[in-house]
């Protein structure tokens, strides 16, 4: 994502050129008119872009040479249905979430885990999601505020999530001690972007820096409990995780570090 070059345009016949101009001004990037062909590919080639942010009637869409991305909570939807039915969830258990808890998600990504956390902590709780990719943070933040799932409880949980565009370490450095009850990292999201066909459009815009020992140390100042999601138990142990949880048949593990 380093040196990401992007611009903003509007969907054809959307009447949202004004919106696209405002977004472009906010980012400090060009607003581009669609040419006679209306082709996004023409804009890519002409301006040498990595991505295009497009204002549409359904909200912001991000187009890259790998495809199109827009916000949708589909990855969390099935989990929330299971939780509503009284089933357990490994993330909720690892973070020890209860109503009223405060959670910091340092790798927001598509906000699937943040949404599950927000649902679990309820209206008395707090969930903040940090995302280093500007386009991903922008698109997900607006999706969380505007998307309608058909469930008032899920919609309310989405609206409660606060999105912060920043690098995790930079944000952690400015937090007062014990600002949260738990801090969460999912470096697996970066792995998924590289390997999953569904996440292919995100490859040019994703922030790929691996989690560091320094970030863990900062997180332990911000909260007494830090949870890292990974497939490799050895990697979790190398970060200082004293406890590893996860499903018996699941490759995904949650490493827990307590202050």
Confidence bin at 234 (pLDDT 50/70/90) = confident
Task: Inform me whether the pLDDT recorded for 236 exceeds 60.
Answer: yes
pLDDT at 211: 85
At which residue do the structure tokens 């969830």 appear? Answer: 89
**What are the residue ranges spanned by the domains of the chain?**
6-57, 74-258
CATH tag for 74-258 (out of 3.50.30.50, 3.40.50.150, 3.40.50.1360, 3.10.28.10) = 3.40.50.150
Q: pLDDT digit string (tens) for 54-94?
A: 999 999 999 998 889 999 988 898 899 999 999 999 999 99
**Who contacts 25 (Cβ-Cβ below 8 Å, separation ≥6)?**
31
Confidence class of residue 214 from pLDDT cuts 50, 70 and 90?
very high
Average the pLDDT over each of 115-129, 137-151, 241-255 and give the range with the smallest value. 241-255
Lowest mean pLDDT among 8-17, 155-164, 185-194, 196-205: 185-194
What's the pLDDT at 191? Answer: 57
The residue behind tokens 């509007």 is 10
CB count within 10 Å of CB 2 equals: 6
CB 221 within 8 A of CB 214: no
Tell me the pLDDT of the chain averaged across its residues.
Answer: 90
State yes or no: pLDDT of 196 exceeds 80: no
At 195 the pLDDT is 56
Per cent of the chain over pLDDT 70 is: 93
| Most confident option among 56-65, 159-168, 241-250 | 159-168
What's the whole-number mean pLDDT along residues 183-207? 73
When pLDDT is cut at 50, 70 and 90, the band that residue 194 belongs to is low
Q: In terms of Cα–Cα distance, which of 83, 55, 255 is closest to 157?
A: 83
In angstroms, what is the C-alpha Rg of the chain?
19
Percent of the chain beyond pLDDT 90?
Answer: 66
């Amino acid at each position: 994502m380093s040196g990401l070059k992007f611009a903003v345009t509007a969907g054809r016949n959307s009447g949202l050129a004004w919106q696209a101009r405002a977004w472009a001004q906010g980012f400090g990037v060009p607003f581009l008119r669609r040419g006679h062909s209306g082709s996004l590919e023409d804009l890519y080639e002409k301006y040498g872009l990595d991505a295009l942010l497009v204002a549409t009637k359904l909200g912001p869409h991000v187009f890259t040479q790998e495809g199109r991305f827009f916000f949708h909570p589909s990855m969390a939807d099935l989990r929330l249905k299971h939780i509503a039915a009284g089933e357990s969830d490994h993330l909720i258990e690892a973070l020890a979430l209860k109503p009223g808890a405060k959670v910091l998600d340092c790798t927001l990504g598509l906000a699937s885990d943040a949404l599950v956390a927000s649902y679990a902590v309820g209206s008395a709780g707090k969930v903040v999601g940090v995302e280093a990719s500007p386009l991903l943070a922008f698109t997900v933040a607006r999706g969380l505020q505007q998307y309608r799932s058909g469930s008032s409880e899920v919609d309310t949980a989405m609206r409660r999530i606060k999105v912060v565009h920043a690098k995790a370490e930079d944000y952690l450095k400015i937090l007062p001690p014990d600002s949260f009850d738990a801090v969460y990292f999912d470096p697996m999201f970066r792995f998924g972007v590289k390997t999953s066909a569904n996440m292919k459009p995100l490859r040019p815009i994703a922030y790929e820096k691996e989690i560091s020992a320094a970030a863990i140390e900062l997180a332990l100042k911000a909260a007494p409990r830090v949870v890292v999601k990974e497939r490799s138990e050895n990697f979790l142990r190398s970060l200082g995780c004293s406890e590893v949880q996860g499903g018996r048949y699941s490759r995904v593990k949650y490493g827990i570090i307590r202050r």
